[in-house]
C-alpha cells in the first residue's frame, strides 16, 4: 500500500518546522556570535531580530502555502513568481549547497558529540559523520509514517531537554544577564568593533528551517490550512526558545567566557559548558541532547528535501530516475540517495562545521529573499484569486523582510570569503543544466 496518502497532521507539520530549525545552532553558534558582538543586550536583540525576520518570512510563505498546495515549497513558489529558471536553480542549489550542506553540518556535530561517549580519534570523526548520513537515509526509506514518528518523538524530546536546561540556568545561574563584556584595561588597545552582519550568519543559520514544512505539502492533510499554520506556530515557538536559551546561557556563563569558546584551538559548546556548571555530575546530558537534536534534525532534512528533486524530475526538469518512488513505501528513494551521497562528499571536502554553515547560509537566505520578493509578482499574477491566508499589513511586512536580508547579504558579500564564493559558484553550473533539461523537454514534445 502506498504510504504517501495525505497523512501528515498539523502537529506533525509543526514538528517538522520546529525540528528542522532547532538543530545545532542554538548550541554551537552562541560562542561565535559573542566573539563578534561585545554586548549581551545587542546579542539578545540579534536573536529577537532573527526571530522577527523569520516570522515575517513565514507570513509570506504562509500566503504562498495557502495559494499553492502542491509539493515543492520554495521551488514551487519561485516557479509561480518568476518562471522555471529561478525555481530550477533553487532546487539545484538545494541539492548542491543548502540541504546537503545542512545535513553535512548536522552530522558533523553529531559525530563531535558522540565523542563524549565513545573515544573517537579526531581524524575519524568525519567518517562517523558520513556513517550517520547512511543510517538516517536508510531509516527514511521506510515511508512517511515512520519518518513522521521519528520527527515527532525526536523533536518533542529535544524541546523537553532544552527547556529543562533553560529552567535550570534561569533558577541556578548567578551571573548578570545584561552585563557588558570585560573592559579593556590598556586604553591604547582599541575596542573590538562589533561585526553584526557576521554574527547574524550564526543567528540566521539557527533559524533556518521554518519553511521546510512546505516541502511535504503534497503529503499533508488540508495543506492550504495546515502548512501556513505549521510555519507560523513553528517560527513563534523557535523564537521564544532561542531568546530564552541565550538569556539562560548568560545567567550561567559571562560573555567573555562564552566568546572564548569560539577559539578554534580549544572549541567548546556553550550548552555543554552551561550544564557542566549547573550540574557537574550530569555533564553527559547535554552531549546526549545535542546528539539527539542534530540527528533528528538531519533526519528531517533527509525526509523533506528529496521531495523537491522528485517534483523537478516529474516535471521533466531533472533526471528521470529521480521521479521514481519506492513501490512499497512511496518515498523518493533515488532522490534520498542522491542527496545523501552529496552530503557525504561535502563532509569529506569541508570537514569544518563553521565552513559548512557559511557555505550554506549565504546561498539559502539569498533564495529566501528572492522568493519573498516574489510575493509582489504573485499578487499581480493572481489578483482575482482570494487565498485562505494573506500577509497582514501588506506590503510593509514583506518590505521589512527584504530590507533586513538584503543588508545581511550585502554586508557578508563584502567579507570576501571562499565559502561564499564556493556556494555561489554552483549557480552558473545550474544554469547550464537547466538549458540541458529544457532542450530535452523540447526534443520530447
For the chain, give me the number of helices (H) and strands (E)?
18, 0
Asked whether residue 123 carries a pLDDT value surpassing 80, the answer given is no
Quote the pLDDT of residue 50: 92
Quote the pLDDT of residue 222: 79
CB distance 55 to 236 below 8 Å: yes
CB distance 240 to 219 below 8 Å: no
Average pLDDT, the chain: 81
Cell of 210: 521554518
The string of pLDDT tens digits covering residues 219-238 is: 678 777 787 888 888 888 89
Q: Which residue has 523537491 as its cell numbers?
A: 308
CA–CA gap between residue 263 and residue 243 (Å, rounded): 24
The string of pLDDT tens digits covering residues 322-346 is: 877 766 666 788 888 889 999 999 9
CB distance 388 to 224 below 8 Å: yes
CA–CA gap between residue 394 and residue 60 (Å, rounded): 10
CB distance 261 to 267 below 8 Å: yes
Residue 317: closest CA among 141, 148, 76, 96? 76
Q: Which residue has 548550541 as its cell numbers?
A: 27
- Is this model's pTM higher than 0.85 or not? no
> pLDDT grade, residue 70 (50/70/90)?
low
> pLDDT grade, residue 436 (50/70/90)?
confident
Domains of the chain with bracketed CATH: 10-444 (1.20.1740.10)
Paired strand residues for 17:
none
Stretch 64-89: mean pLDDT: 84
Residue 267 phi/psi, 5-degree rounding, is -70, 145
Residue 83 phi/psi, 5-degree rounding, is 115, 180
CB distance 215 to 304 below 8 Å: yes
What is the separation of C-alpha 347 from the centre of its chain, rounded to a whole number of angstroms? 17
Quote the pLDDT of residue 430: 93
The proportion of the chain whose per-residue pLDDT surpasses 90, expressed as a percent, equals 21
Q: Within 10 Å of residue 257's Cβ, how many Cβ atoms?
A: 18
CA–CA gap between residue 341 and residue 335 (Å, rounded): 10
Quote the pLDDT of residue 178: 67
Quote the pLDDT of residue 159: 78
Stretch 253-270: mean pLDDT: 81
Which residues contact residue 319 at a Cβ distance below 8 angstroms, ignoring those fewer than 6 apart?
313
Amino acid at each position: 500500500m502506498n504510504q504517501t496518502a495525505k497523512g501528515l497532521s498539523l502537529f506533525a507539520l509543526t514538528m517538522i518546522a520546529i525540528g528542522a530549525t532547532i538543530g545545532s545552532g542554538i548550541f554551537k553558534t552562541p560562542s561565535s556570535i559573542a566573539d563578534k558582538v561585545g554586548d549581551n543586550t545587542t546579542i539578545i536583540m540579534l536573536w529577537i531580530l532573527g526571530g522577527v525576520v523569520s516570522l515575517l518570512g513565514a507570513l509570506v510563505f504562509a500566503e504562498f502555502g495557502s495559494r499553492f498546495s502542491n509539493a515543492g515549497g520554495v521551488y514551487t513558489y519561485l516557479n509561480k513568481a518568476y518562471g522555471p529558471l529561478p525555481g530550477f536553480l533553487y532546487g539545484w542549489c538545494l541539492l548542491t549547497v543548502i540541504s546537503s550542506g545542512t545535513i553535512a553540518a548536522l552530522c558533523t556535530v553529531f559525530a563531535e558529540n558522540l565523542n563524549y561517549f565513545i573515544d573517537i580519534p579526531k581524524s575519524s570523526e568525519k567518517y562517523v559523520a558520513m556513517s550517520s548520513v547512511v543510517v538516517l537515509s536508510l531509516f527514511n526509506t521506510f515511508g512517511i509514517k515512520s519518518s513522521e514518528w521519528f520527527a515527532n518523538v525526536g523533536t518533542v524530546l529535544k524541546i523537553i531537554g532544552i527547556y529543562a536546561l533553560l529552567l535550570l540556568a534561569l533558577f541556578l545561574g548567578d551571573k548578570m544577564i545584561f552585563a557588558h563584556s570585560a573592559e579593556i584595561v590598556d586604553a591604547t588597545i582599541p575596542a573590538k568593533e562589533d561585526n553584526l552582519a557576521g554574527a547574524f550568519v550564526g543567528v540566521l543559520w539557527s533559524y533556518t528551517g521554518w519553511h521546510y514544512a512546505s516541502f511535504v505539502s503534497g503529503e499533508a492533510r488540508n495543506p492550504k490550512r495546515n502548512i501556513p499554520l505549521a510555519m507560523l506556530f513553528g517560527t513563534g515557538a523557535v523564537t521564544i526558545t532561542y531568546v530564552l536559551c541565550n538569556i539562560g546561557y548568560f545567567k550561567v556563563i559571562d560573555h567573555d567566557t562564552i566568546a572564548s569558546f569560539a577559539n578554534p584551538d580549544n572549541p567548546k559548546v556553550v550548552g555543554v559548558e552551561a550544564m557542566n556548571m549547573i550540574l557537574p555530575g550530569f555533564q553527559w546530558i547535554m552531549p546526549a541532547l545535542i546528539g539527539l537534536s542534530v540527528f533528528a534534525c538531519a533526519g528531517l532534512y533527509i525526509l523533506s528535501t528529496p521531495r523537491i528533486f522528485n517534483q523537478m524530475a516529474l516535471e521533466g526538469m531533472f533526471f528521470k530516475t529521480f521521479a521514481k518512488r519506492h513501490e512499497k513505501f512511496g518515498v523518493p528513494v533515488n532522490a534520498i540517495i542522491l542527496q545523501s551521497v552529496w552530503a557525504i562528499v561535502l563532509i569529506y571536502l569541508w570537514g569544518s562545521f563553521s565552513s559548512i554553515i557559511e557555505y550554506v547560509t549565504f546561498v539559502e537566505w539569498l533564495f529566501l529573499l528572492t522568493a519573498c520578493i516574489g510575493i509582489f509578482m504573485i499578487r499581480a499574477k493572481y489578483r482575482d484569486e482570494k487565498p485562505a491566508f494573506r500577509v497582514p499589513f501588506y506590503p510593509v511586512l514583506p518590505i521589512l523582510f527584504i530590507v533586513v536580508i538584503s543588508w545581511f547579504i550585502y554586508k557578508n558579500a563584502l567579507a570576501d570569503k571562499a565559502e561564499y564564493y564556493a556556494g555561489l559558484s554552483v549557480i552558473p553550473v545550474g544554469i547550464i543544466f537547466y538549458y540541458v533539461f529544457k532542450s530535452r523537454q523540447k526534443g520530447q514534445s
